[in-house]
Structure 1
Amino acid sequence: MIADLLHHGRGGRTLWSSVSRSLAANDPFEALLAIGGTQWAERKATLRRLILADQKMPERRWSTSAMDFV
């Protein structure tokens, strides 16, 4: 999700503070998806659909040591 934010520039100049707040939220997945304006509605819907299609993805976290989602 963060790679998508960076790639599309959805977070603008406040990306990292938005990501930090999102990761501390009760529902980090939804909070990260909410980053960006309404012009990103279609992209957010696509991203939600693709991530949720992989039933385990919402539970996975990035592991620097494994260099993969675990």
Structure 2
Amino acid sequence: MPKQDSNVTLVDEKDEEFDTNYLAYKKGLSGGWAGFALCHGMQDGDAAVFQLIKPTTFKVHIIRAASDDHSEEDE
């Protein structure tokens, strides 16, 4: 990861690009990450795998959390 704040591009599985800001001192994404997550319907429990494809470009693979479709009332 960059040693200073920089722009990072996230590429989804449809090859659409999303610009975000990487904050080096926090070691995290800002300014664009929330929009990416909302656009892709990410929810608590989902995972994202970041594959570095260029120095500041990542392919993002989303792994959905398993959902339990059975309620306790069905038992």
Q: Same fold (TM over 0.5)?
A: no
- Structure richer in strand, relative to its length: 2
Higher relative contact order (CA 8 A, sep 6+): 2
Bigger fraction of residues in helix? 1
| Higher Rg | 2
Normalising by structure 2, report the TM-score.
Answer: 0.26
